[in-house]
A and B are shown apart, each in its own frame.
Chain A
């Protein structure tokens, strides 16, 4: 019996379709209203289910982008787009303006949600899209002065007519697509949000995001805090500026002048008043890349070769957008950064180029003394200055949430205050030049010299650009390299005390440039650029030399190289760190103290060839062991600083192992000793203890059967959705390589784009952008090429001379013509 089936109070012989309502019948309208209300609103982290699963307009309505002819009001003439078998669009336009407009339209059609999310995040507007999960990041970027920095850059870029025309056309293209949108991307439906129109600031915000990702790391705070705990000398010992030859490899080896003096303790006189160090967000420290060029003398084709792969966090969609841009002024192929017009890395028929992160220290922290803890007045030598104050609002979808005060001093934004002392950030990212114009000049370059000259306009982030034309190769450490004297920028400094306070870059005569070297190749992998014969102080936070050394070794191993050889080198999974560290670890470990199974696996490690192959257990065993070894060595020192993520470089540990192994009384044995115990530990004890702990951890996380500890399971490579939506990313990938191999696969981070080219009369190129161009998670094209990429495969690039050639090979064709859509 249903609750409403009430009996009539006075029985009748004929039943009526209407009855007196039961005393609690009113509950049904109430429940109905409550139910509809509940499904219409988010409940905690559960999104509004009614709207999401609405058949009419929710996730079940999905209109995949159709490659059909369209009208775009602001075009001057028709634009033709052909999509090749790799899913790569080739855009042919009658003018540059039409080209960028079409590129903006197409990029929005493929990647709208990603573009929206990415540009909002750096501008401190993430909360508007994802709700209060975005608050912390928004607060940081706002305090870091990103909103002011974006507007300053917009003003600078838009003063140049060519750049302004590029940005304006691109933005019009994006907005035209938004206006024509008949179905929202699924992410908007899930977040119950809508895209808003783009403008120049959103284009620049994305460029700022990449700049921050590549140059927003600094060791100043960590080193200063560690120095307060263990003293200056010991910090300099653990973080040396230079290493002996065996442990170093320079991008530009050779002498640049007379050796300059080394760092001295007296270079670091200033002691900060800051004691409670803030945890300031920073990008992943390993954001970087590989690139190299091979000259005609060393090439099987008789012409130059170039290889480039950028290492960033894995996401679907990919941060890069592969496309060909062609107009009467130029014809260029490569990858664009989402939200940004033009092409960043790629080639023309004459030249090719590719960057790696320069990694030169680009961010310093200064202590500024204010009049009191709330004052805006701060000291600048004998002068008193007023900080500029900006009130910035963070909003969510319903309206303003909170206001963040941004204080700008002469040296940069204030990030933290302790009493009357504050920490300000001086970042090269605040000193942009017109990078977009530099990239645009590349499309016109006909030679390596012209290609490198284009980077005269490059400001940030500092990059090592390699360039090649068919007969020449070159490299330039390009950008705003701070002019510093020895020691500047290592620790927190007093504001106004260093040369870099003047925000002056090194001059043109000090540019780090090489063209056509005798060895006929040039390479970089984010490692230290030059030795101590270069006069400017470059800091000490470079990437370790494992990838760079291995690339050099592979390039030197063959007299002549082909494009396929370069692809093989990109896929090289030899673990440079393991090759240096493991022999000492195996020698030092006390096998008698281990179980039979542990000894058995050590024997396998004895015979391991150091390749981080997905199916092997050895890489997992080694990586876990080395991680625990480092922890065991420094747990008594670094942990004191309460920043366990901040450890001395791996290469310093390897140097330490070598020193103590050859001489147990070496000064480095102080680090091996665990100071929490009375006895003095030996290298053997620490190495054995580390192995036991790593074994325990592996058993706990991957089960007791070591056969399950494969590199695939340990490294756990997979590509998540850009907003980390469960089920929208890739599955677990069986992928070779680690962060210490050229392959650069850290599981969550690695080569998100790969490019190899053989230059010549008919350039032959290969590229791979895992995930493809299609950013629609409900498309069958979503996640395209991920498996191929994980297997190290690349697709041959189809670079067309003109539209007629392009359309012959097209899988899809789309014509955009002027007129109302």
Chain B
């Protein structure tokens, strides 16, 4: 799941606007059939974090590290590494929320209920 979602996120971030990450995550959530939701959520979240940070890192390298240097100064970060941590956070949180929303929507669609039934 990690590698599959990583690939999807990389493609999405490269060719589509950033918010597509949330949409893709929702779709992944809806499509997820596993019972091991916790592990899947963790893998997908990590894939989102890695995708955004890795693409930023590659692009930064193509600009000789100048983008991370300027941005970390602009956001008063003590180290350029933190700008990539910031990207990872953006990617991770976006995917986590999207994926969890997707799982919820899947449950709603499959069970026809918006909330838990009374026990």
Interface pair B115/A53, CB less than 8 Å apart: no
From A35, A55, A59, residue with most partner B Cβ within 10 Å? A55
Q: Which of B38-96 contact A (CB under 8 A)?
A: 38, 41, 52, 55-56, 59-60, 62-64, 66-67, 69-74, 76, 86-87, 90, 93-94
A725 to chain B, nearest CB (A): 6
Of all chain A residues, which has the CB nearest B35?
A15
Please report the C-alpha to C-alpha distance between residue A36 and residue B13 in the assembled complex, in whole angstroms: 15
Q: Which of B87-113 contact A (CB under 8 A)?
A: 87, 90, 93-94, 97-98, 100-101, 103-108, 110-111, 113
Please report the C-alpha to C-alpha distance between residue A3 and residue B101 in the assembled complex, in whole angstroms: 12
Please report the C-alpha to C-alpha distance between residue A36 and residue B101 in the assembled complex, in whole angstroms: 13
Of all chain A residues, which has the CB nearest B83?
A53
Interface pair A32/B101, CB less than 8 Å apart: yes
- The interface bits of chain A over 35-59 (1 if a CB of B lies within 8 angstroms of the residue's CB, else 0) are 1100110000000011101111111
A9 to chain B, nearest CB (A): 4
Given contacts A18-B107, A26-B104, A727-B74, whether A56 and B113 have CB atoms under 8 Å apart is no
Q: Which of A216-231 contact B (CB under 8 A)?
A: none
Interface pair A9/B19, CB less than 8 Å apart: no
Q: Choose among B19, B37, B115 the residue that contacts A4 (Cβ–Cβ < 8 A).
A: B37
Q: Which of A775-793 contact B (CB under 8 A)?
A: 777-780, 782
Say whether A22 faces chain B, with CB atoms less than 8 Å apart: yes
* B108: A residues at CB distance < 8 A: 21, 25
A523 to chain B, nearest CB (A): 41
* A19: B residues at CB distance < 8 A: 107, 111
Interface pair A5/B38, CB less than 8 Å apart: yes
* B106: A residues at CB distance < 8 A: 18
* A58: B residues at CB distance < 8 A: 18
Interface pair A778/B67, CB less than 8 Å apart: yes
Please report the C-alpha to C-alpha distance between residue A3 and residue B52 in the assembled complex, in whole angstroms: 25
* B100: A residues at CB distance < 8 A: 2-4, 28, 31-32
Interface pair B73/A25, CB less than 8 Å apart: no
Interface pair A727/B104, CB less than 8 Å apart: no
Say whether A16 faces chain B, with CB atoms less than 8 Å apart: yes
B100 to chain A, nearest CB (A): 4
Interface pair B16/A56, CB less than 8 Å apart: yes
Interface pair B101/A53, CB less than 8 Å apart: no
Given contacts A32-B22, A58-B18, whether A23 and B115 have CB atoms under 8 Å apart is yes
B22 to chain A, nearest CB (A): 5
* B115: A residues at CB distance < 8 A: 20-23, 25-26
B70 to chain A, nearest CB (A): 5
Interface pair B90/A50, CB less than 8 Å apart: yes
* B66: A residues at CB distance < 8 A: 777-780, 782
B17 to chain A, nearest CB (A): 6
Interface pair B17/A54, CB less than 8 Å apart: yes
Please report the C-alpha to C-alpha distance between residue A17 and residue B14 in the assembled complex, in whole angstroms: 31
B110 to chain A, nearest CB (A): 4
Say whether A60 faces chain B, with CB atoms less than 8 Å apart: yes
Q: Choose among B22, B67, B103 the residue that contacts A59 (Cβ–Cβ < 8 A).
A: B67
Given contacts A28-B97, A28-B103, whether A778 and B70 have CB atoms under 8 Å apart is yes
Please report the C-alpha to C-alpha distance between residue A50 and residue B13 in the assembled complex, in whole angstroms: 11
Say whether B6 faces chain A, with CB atoms less than 8 Å apart: no
Interface pair B74/A35, CB less than 8 Å apart: no
B52 to chain A, nearest CB (A): 7
Interface pair B35/A51, CB less than 8 Å apart: no
Interface pair B18/A51, CB less than 8 Å apart: yes
Given contacts A23-B115, A31-B97, whether A55 and B104 have CB atoms under 8 Å apart is no
Interface pair A21/B114, CB less than 8 Å apart: yes
Say whether A85 faces chain B, with CB atoms less than 8 Å apart: no
Interface pair A49/B90, CB less than 8 Å apart: yes
Q: How large is the interface on B (under 10, 10 to 19, 20 to 34, 35 or more residues)?
A: 35 or more
Say whether A804 faces chain B, with CB atoms less than 8 Å apart: no
* B62: A residues at CB distance < 8 A: 62
Please report the C-alpha to C-alpha distance between residue A190 and residue B104 in the assembled complex, in whole angstroms: 35
* A20: B residues at CB distance < 8 A: 107, 111, 113, 115-117
Q: Choose among A29, A40, A55, A782 the residue that contacts B14 (Cβ–Cβ < 8 A).
A: A55
B43 to chain A, nearest CB (A): 13
Given contacts A32-B98, A32-B101, whether A62 and B63 have CB atoms under 8 Å apart is yes
Interface pair A60/B67, CB less than 8 Å apart: yes
* B101: A residues at CB distance < 8 A: 28-29, 31-32
* A40: B residues at CB distance < 8 A: 19
Please report the C-alpha to C-alpha distance between residue A725 and residue B76 in the assembled complex, in whole angstroms: 11
Please report the C-alpha to C-alpha distance between residue A53 and residue B19 in the assembled complex, in whole angstroms: 11
Say whether A728 faces chain B, with CB atoms less than 8 Å apart: yes
Say whether A518 faces chain B, with CB atoms less than 8 Å apart: no
Given contacts A5-B37, A59-B67, A728-B73, whether A21 and B19 have CB atoms under 8 Å apart is no
Please report the C-alpha to C-alpha distance between residue A15 and residue B119 in the assembled complex, in whole angstroms: 17
B12 to chain A, nearest CB (A): 9
A95 to chain B, nearest CB (A): 38
Please report the C-alpha to C-alpha distance between residue A36 and residue B71 in the assembled complex, in whole angstroms: 21
Say whether B28 faces chain A, with CB atoms less than 8 Å apart: no
Interface pair B38/A25, CB less than 8 Å apart: no
* B90: A residues at CB distance < 8 A: 39, 49-50, 53
* A64: B residues at CB distance < 8 A: 63
Say whether A667 faces chain B, with CB atoms less than 8 Å apart: no
B55 to chain A, nearest CB (A): 5
Interface pair A16/B35, CB less than 8 Å apart: yes
Interface pair B116/A727, CB less than 8 Å apart: no
* B13: A residues at CB distance < 8 A: 55-56
Please report the C-alpha to C-alpha distance between residue A688 and residue B79 in the assembled complex, in whole angstroms: 46
Q: Which of A565-615 contact B (CB under 8 A)?
A: none
Please report the C-alpha to C-alpha distance between residue A55 and residue B88 in the assembled complex, in whole angstroms: 12
Q: Choose among B34, B52, B94, B116 the residue that contacts A9 (Cβ–Cβ < 8 A).
A: B116
Q: Choose among B22, B59, B97, B117 the residue that contacts A55 (Cβ–Cβ < 8 A).
A: B59
Interface pair B38/A1, CB less than 8 Å apart: yes
Say whether B3 faces chain A, with CB atoms less than 8 Å apart: no
* B103: A residues at CB distance < 8 A: 4, 28
Please report the C-alpha to C-alpha distance between residue A53 and residue B70 in the assembled complex, in whole angstroms: 13
Please report the C-alpha to C-alpha distance between residue A725 and residue B70 in the assembled complex, in whole angstroms: 9
Say whether A10 faces chain B, with CB atoms less than 8 Å apart: yes
Say whether A61 faces chain B, with CB atoms less than 8 Å apart: yes
* A22: B residues at CB distance < 8 A: 115-116
Say whether A726 faces chain B, with CB atoms less than 8 Å apart: yes
- The interface bits of chain A over 639-679 (1 if a CB of B lies within 8 angstroms of the residue's CB, else 0) are 00000000000000000000000000000000000000000
Given contacts A9-B117, A23-B115, A50-B90, whether A726 and B17 have CB atoms under 8 Å apart is no
Q: Choose among B32, B41, B87 the residue that contacts A53 (Cβ–Cβ < 8 A).
A: B87
Say whether A300 faces chain B, with CB atoms less than 8 Å apart: no
* A26: B residues at CB distance < 8 A: 104, 114-115
Say whether A499 faces chain B, with CB atoms less than 8 Å apart: no
Can you pick out 17 interface pairs between chain A and chain B where the beta carbons lie within 8 Å of each other? A3-B100, A4-B104, A5-B38, A17-B35, A18-B107, A19-B111, A21-B113, A21-B116, A25-B107, A25-B115, A29-B101, A35-B93, A55-B52, A56-B14, A60-B55, A64-B63, A728-B74
A19-B111, A32-B100, A778-B67 given; 6 more Cβ-contact pairs under 8 Å: A18-B107, A26-B115, A35-B97, A53-B87, A60-B60, A728-B73
Q: Which residues of B contact A (CB under 8 A)?
A: 13-19, 22, 26, 32-35, 37-38, 41, 52, 55-56, 59-60, 62-64, 66-67, 69-74, 76, 86-87, 90, 93-94, 97-98, 100-101, 103-108, 110-111, 113-119
